[in-house]
Structure 1
């Protein structure tokens, strides 16, 4: 008689979120009050460009709340060295709140340093170009700009504050890049749900995370184009508010608690290609989304619609646009190998994916997307440049 077996423990489902999310035109005026609820000695981390744009408003708000203004100059990428330097700044000043003001690398560096220093941290994105602000993880790069690792933290930012007028004042290409990052959220969440893989939140996908990912997708298809038109005139409209929320909050919660899959793995692989350096995160993710659709064998109509829509948004969906070509086989193989290393999110797809599969998908995208664009009367692919 065989011994009775112990039934497997039920899989835990997990949903993560920031402590508070604040969004709207003029929201920077509220920053000081919210920081005062978190601590008494904040350090504000921003690069010189960002500080030149919002430093006056940030300073006025922080001083108005009776807090000291300590600003640290951010330079470059979220690297291990940058993070360790910020930890040293925190300890030297005796700070109890670390505040990232700017883009994804600034915010990720602040999250990682805040965690290592054992203090609270806040995200104040000045663009809606990624879904990084709300998450409990950071993407860390090498000094050369190649993907190095994900770092995970036990909690999310205590505060995420987005001033939509500041976002609307930034180049529309940055908002478009955020659309590229956020569109991948649903494609990856549905793949993760199908495979039952573990999400960035550390458990099985939650219904809420998957639903928020789908909501982000729907909001963007309905609002991205009018929002981009408004932002080109630096206007905040209901469409802009919806897209900023989709890019930041809905996509942030959706990717973290719904799951990542092939699109972001291809992005990580593309960081190994010098030709793609300098492109925005969401630009590379969008090529990853098209690649994922090809890997899935998605209906041709679905891939065609995605190519047409993202072309209108201003996102790359061909190799040409990221500085590569179908004949760059060695580079594409390096990209594919980096995208399929053990532990990469591409293994959350509901079927095995090999490096050869990724190479074939990447090469096939070029001719297909070019033909779709021609048939729709859309511009032919040209090399994209990073938005500034």
Structure 2
């Protein structure tokens, strides 16, 4: 049986690690193209200046326009070539990081997240958008980032909602990896077309990936609430450090080498509803995880555990929590249709999926989540 495991070459996490960025730049040369929005760069200008002086390197500021679009990627590729940059740095949130991945195209790249909102920093894929922000396509590269550098102090100072959204994304990792283990799915069987031509085509999940996905879930349950309070107080604590690692590293390796399943497919289906667009990826994935558990007819104790966790950190547990106050049968049918298109990860589930089973699972998850909030007298 062919198995595969995908990971970045180096992952480094700690307080004030941004001061060591120059060390990693010097492993490629002396000059780096720095891709990030102006606000994120201004947040860390002092650290960038210090590390450049310490390691005798320089940063070419790209003037990132905010969308990971083909036009922006081409502009930045030309800038990197003109400035003779030795490597690419993606600094900030998801779109800056994805743009950097596209510009580097699988070559010398350093990822520096300033928030822990998703598990994308470690992956070898990116999402392309049009200039006006509409979805365009997925991009895949020959290898994962060379370096993922996490400054926990910077992440602790970011708005807490980003950290919580990251926990929502990470929450799905164990359950989706479990589904792939049970169905013997190929790692990329549920990813969009194009992923299937990469180095893991036809490969099954590894025990390592499943173990990391399991540890990801255990870490969230143990430290999630404490990490949220730490972030509110902008304090780096062991709990916050553990959850940052869970959100970025454990979840990143767990999803890419363990596989996606129902939760992310439900997320993708929900994106057709305009009301959900003001909510973060991980917030919608959290609700998608509940829907997946309903599809599996998961034990009551497991459902309760997930619901309790979501409420403890203020993650969505019903449609209203992601902006959908009412939903028609036509709308939920459209969500289900999007969820089960042939290339979606819902087909990694270890049993047949139908349009009606998805619709029923969404409605039941919504009802259970609402009722559970009411019994706990909880208000988001």
Q: Give the TM-score of the pair, scaled to structure 2.
A: 0.92
- Residue 77 of structure 2 is matched in structure 1 by 87
Q: What does 1:110-259 correspond to in 2, within 5 Å?
A: 110-115=100-105, 119-142=107-130, 145=133, 147-200=135-188, 201-202=200-201, 203-259=203-259
Question: Does the 8 Å CA contact 1:286/1:316 hold for their aligned counterparts?
Answer: yes
Q: Tell me, which stretches of 5 or more residues in structure 1 are unaligned?
A: 1-10, 382-388
Contact residue 10 and residue 147 of structure 2 kept, 8 A:
yes
Q: Contact between 2:25 and 2:31, CA under 8 Å: does it hold in 1?
A: no
User: Does structure 1 conserve the Cα–Cα contact (< 8 Å) formed by 2:35 and 2:99?
Assistant: no
Change in Cα spacing, 1:124 to 1:19, as seen in structure 2 (3 Å) is same
Question: 2 CA distance for matches of 1:140 and 1:263?
Answer: 22
Counterpart in the other structure of 2:13: 23
1:181-210 CA-to-partner distances (Å, cap 9, x unmatched) read 111100100001111111144410000001
Distance 2:67 2:356 in 1: 30
Q: For 1:219 and 1:41, how far apart are their aligned partners in 2?
A: 38
Q: Is the 8 A contact 2:269 2:338 kept in 1?
A: yes
Q: For the residues of structure 2 that align with 1:269 and 1:81, how far apart are their CA atoms?
A: 27
Counterparts of 2:31 and 2:181, CA distance in 1: 42
1:40 aligned to 27, 30, 42, which one? 30
Does structure 1 conserve the Cα–Cα contact (< 8 Å) formed by 2:262 and 2:348?
A: yes
**Poorly superposed stretches of 4+, deviation over 4 Å:** 142-148
Match of 1:277, SS?
helix
Report deviation, 1:254: 0.7
Check if 1:72 corresponds to 2:65.
no
Whether the aligned pair in 2 keeps the contact of 1:199 and 1:205 (CA below 8 Å) is yes
CA distance in 1 between partners of 2:352 and 2:71 (Å): 35
The answer to whether the 8 Å contact 2:230/2:236 transfers is: yes
Q: In structure 2, how many angstroms separate the alpha carbons of the residues matched to 1:125 and 1:259?
A: 23
SS of the counterpart of 1:69? strand
The secondary structure found in structure 2 opposite 1:235 is coil
Any idea what SS the aligned residue of 2:58 has? coil
Whether the 8 Å contact between 2:11 and 2:147 is mirrored in structure 1 is yes
Unaligned runs of 5+ in 2: 189-199
Q: How big is the alpha-carbon RMSD for the aligned residues of Structure 1 and Structure 2?
A: 1.8
TM, length-normalised to structure 1: 0.90
The whole-number CA distance in structure 2 between the counterparts of 1:15 and 1:303 is 29
| Residue 263 (1) aligns with residue 229 (2) | no
